[in-house]
Structure 1
Amino acid sequence: MRLFTALWPPPGAVAALTRALDGAPPPLPDGARPTDPSTWHVTLCFHGDDDPDTRASALDTALVRAVAPRLRIAGTGTFPGVLWTGVEESGGPVLPGLAARAGATGPRPYRPHVTLARWDRRRGDATVGGDGLAAGPWWTPGEAVLVRSDPGARYTVVHRVPLRPGTPDRTPG
């Protein structure tokens, strides 16, 4: 089962992002497929094929004392074949440590974002531009969710791990 751990923005943040995109949509290459706002999320860690019970238990242990960061959605950028909006943090970078606790490892640095559109990555990103998006409202996630990813960008939450409100601990692990 393909799994990932994520933070889901609240309805107010999704509505603000939707309004911003309606007001000034970034230009996209032909064939781009916008993502459905109901699927917008901030991935902490992609686990790939994994056992959901084992992963849920690991997350319960890893995130037992994790404090939720204060976030907002702002700006835009691209990866090959992806248009995204960035995620800013109030009070310093907490998300990389939270992602590491959720299991994120690898050679690339963690870049928190919400995917807005996808296209064939062989097309390049030259036609994607714009001035970015204005910052949305601040929000604090109440939980990290373990999600099953099915073909066609269909997501099902399989486990929830509460996050504590308060001042995040900036020490990794």
Structure 2
Amino acid sequence: MSFIDLEAQNSARTVASPVPAYSHHSRSTSAERTTNPIDDFFGHPLSSPATRESRHDRRLSEVLPPYAETTLPEYSLKAEPVTLAMYLFKFGFLFPPFWILGAIILLSPLREPEPSSATSEWMPEKTEGERQMLIAEMRKVEVKWAKRCLLALSVFACIAVVVGVLIWWALRK
């Protein structure tokens, strides 16, 4: 029984007399065989031109739609404002007392800047409402990173207490 790959077929490429693989006459001479053995093994004619056009032969510019000239959708990532608590959390892995300073931010009142000449110079291109929204977002991010500092500090303190107790217990014996 012979299987024929319909996609890899070409009218000029045929086998003269297919012989079943289980037959003792399965040997064929090179005169009977007009296909390439490499093409037969892989099931695709690599040595002859394609039998029909494939969608993979087209260029990417023909396949992909053009980019839209609009703004990005809401579900795209937004960059958080950089805050002091964020830096204290990250550098706390090198020097854990920074987590104490980050956790203190939770105790401090987060107020908007005093109305002075400094605030009029801060973001002069934005309206008062946009500035208030920016301050509220910065407060939210600052509190989030301060809570992370508190969590990291508490985990570090728990690990330090457990290690201290284990060392004390080991030295006591």
Q: Same fold (TM over 0.5)?
A: no
- TM-score category, normalised to shorter length: under 0.3
Higher helix share: 2
Greater radius of gyration (CA): 2
Higher relative CO (Cα under 8 Å, sequence separation at least 6) belongs to 1
Q: TM-score, normalising length from structure 1?
A: 0.22
Q: TM-score, normalising length from structure 2?
A: 0.22
Higher strand share: 1
